[in-house]
Structure 1
C-alpha cells in the first residue's frame, strides 16, 4: 500500500510541480521561451535544466545504514538524514555557475530523480509528459506571462517545491 501511495504522489504532485516550475521559469526567462517556440527540439534540454535549477523535490529523508563521517560530522547508523536535492543540484563543484539557467549545461549528474536503487521509476514518463505538454503549449501560445497583480504563494512543504497556482496570460500563435 505504501508503494502504491508513493507511485500515486510521485506521478501527480511532483509532475504538477514540475509543470508549474517549468512554466514559471520560462516566464522569468522570456528569451528561453522564444527560443523554445522557434526550436522545439530543445524542449527536453530546457526541461532537464528546470529539473536542476528548480527541482520540484527539495528534500528526501534517508536512514543511515552505517556510521560515517561527513565534513567533520559523525552520522551514526539509523540516524535520520535529510538530503537537500535542490541544494545538491546547485553545487558549484558539480555545476559551474549553478545560479544561471543554461539549457546547454551538462546535467548528467543532477539528482532530482534520485540515484541508484532510489532512482525514480517514473522519471521517463515525467519527462515525456513534460516534453509533450510544452510542445503543445509552444505550438499555440507565445509571450506567456504572469497575470498582472499575481503574488505567487508556495505550497507549504519541505519536500515538494511548488506554487499553489500560476495564473498566466498569453498571445495566440
Structure 2
C-alpha cells in the first residue's frame, strides 16, 4: 500500500504486508526501512506464506550471530528457492560451515590481497581510459560491473577473461531469486565452474583458491565435485554484483553531493574512511533470510520453529540507536561498526578484496574524473532483492587524458 500524498509505501505495508521483491521497495528502499524501524523493529509480513522482517541493528546482529537458533541450512531466501546445487558455505551451519569457510578465508587475507593492488590499479586505469576522453559514460556498464569481475577472475580464479561478460550476466540473474531465469542461471554458472575445474586439473596447480577447494579434505574425506563447485560458486555470486552495486551507488552519491569528491581530492588520506561510510550507507548486500530452528523470542515477538526471518543489513546500518546522524555521510565519523559484509560465522570472506577494489577505484576516480554529474534526465532504476544495484548510472564529467595511448 502506498501513501496517496507521497506515493511511498505506508505504515500498514511495512508492518503487515512487507514484500522485499516489490519494485516500490527497490525504488524507495531507505525511506521505507526507516519507516519500518520507527513502527516495528520486528514485524510480521503476510506475504509468501508469512515471514518476519528485522530492521534494528541489535536484532539483526543477534540473528546473524546466533546460528544455533537461526539457521542458514534450513533456508536463506523468502520465498524458499531451491537451487540445483548448494552454495557453500552460505547454506550450511557450523561446525561444518567453518571447514568450508577456512578454505576460502586463507586466500583472501590482507597479506594476499595486498599483492593484487598493482594489478587492480592498472585495471582501474585501463577501464577509465576507455571513456575518460569522451566526458560521459554509463558508469555501471563501462566501469562498475567490469571491474570486480575482471579483477576476480584474473587474480583469484586465474580464469579466462573472455568468459567475464557471460558469467557476470549469469551471476546477476542468479542473485535475483524472484526471476524465472534465476534457477537456470544457477545451473549455467555451476556448469561453467565445473568446466573450469576440469581444465585446471589438466593444467596443474597454481596454489590459488581453486586448487585449495578442488583438493580439500572435509572431515577426513575428499571434497565432492558438487561441494567444490558450490564453494567456488559462492565466490562468484558474492564478489561480482555486490561490489558493482556498491560502486554504482557510490557514484550516484558523488554526483548528488559533489562536496564529497572535492574534499577527498584535497584530503586523499580520508579515502579509507570514505570507503567505510559508503559501505555503511550504500552497501549493496542488503538482506538475507534465516530459518528458526526452534521457538524463540526476538524484539518482544514470538517466533515459531520453521518460520523465516529476513534481516536487513541495509536498515541496521542506518539505525540511529547505533549511528549518530545515521543517514548522513560523515567523513569524521569515529566509531563505525557497520555490518555491510554481514556478521557472525557467515560474514563475507571477500571483504578484504572488496575494500581494496573500492579504495583503489575511489583513489583513481577522485584524481581522474572532475565535475562528475548525472546526465540530464537520468532516471535511476534498481534491481533489488538480497543484493541491490543500479541498472544504469549515466554520468558526465570534464573530458580528461588517457594514461596509456589508444590502440
With normalisation by structure 2, the TM-score equals: 0.41
Q: Distance in 1 between matches of 2:236 and 2:324?
A: 35
SS at match of 2:389: coil
Name 1:163's counterpart in structure 2: 390
**Which segments of 5 or more consecutive residues in structure 2 lack a partner in the other structure?**
1-228, 401-407
Partner residue of 2:257 out of 23, 29, 35: 29
Query: 1:55 Cα shift?
Result: 2.1
Partner residue of 2:343 out of 115, 119, 140: 115
Distance verdict in 2 for CA 1:145–1:107, change over 3 Å:
farther
Partner residue of 2:352 out of 120, 124, 144: 124
> Runs of at least 4 residues of structure 1 off by over 6 A?
none
Query: 1:168 Cα shift?
Result: 0.8
Superposition RMSD in Å: 1.5
Name 1:144's counterpart in structure 2: 372
Name 1:14's counterpart in structure 2: 242
SS at match of 1:33: helix
Query: 1:19 Cα shift?
Result: 0.7
For the 8 Å contact 1:18–1:55, the answer to whether it is kept is: yes
Q: Distance in 1 between matches of 2:306 and 2:331?
A: 39
CA deviations on 1:1-51 (whole Å, 9 max, x unpaired) are 333222101110001001101111111211111011121221111111111
Number of equivalent positions: 172
With normalisation by structure 1, the TM-score equals: 0.92
For the 8 Å contact 2:369–2:397, the answer to whether it is kept is: yes
Query: 1:172 Cα shift?
Result: 4.7
Query: 1:108 Cα shift?
Result: 3.4
Q: Distance in 2 between matches of 1:7 and 1:68?
A: 32
Within the alignment, does 1:92 sit opposite 2:291 as a pair?
no
As a proportion of its length, which structure holds more helix?
2
Query: 1:124 Cα shift?
Result: 0.6
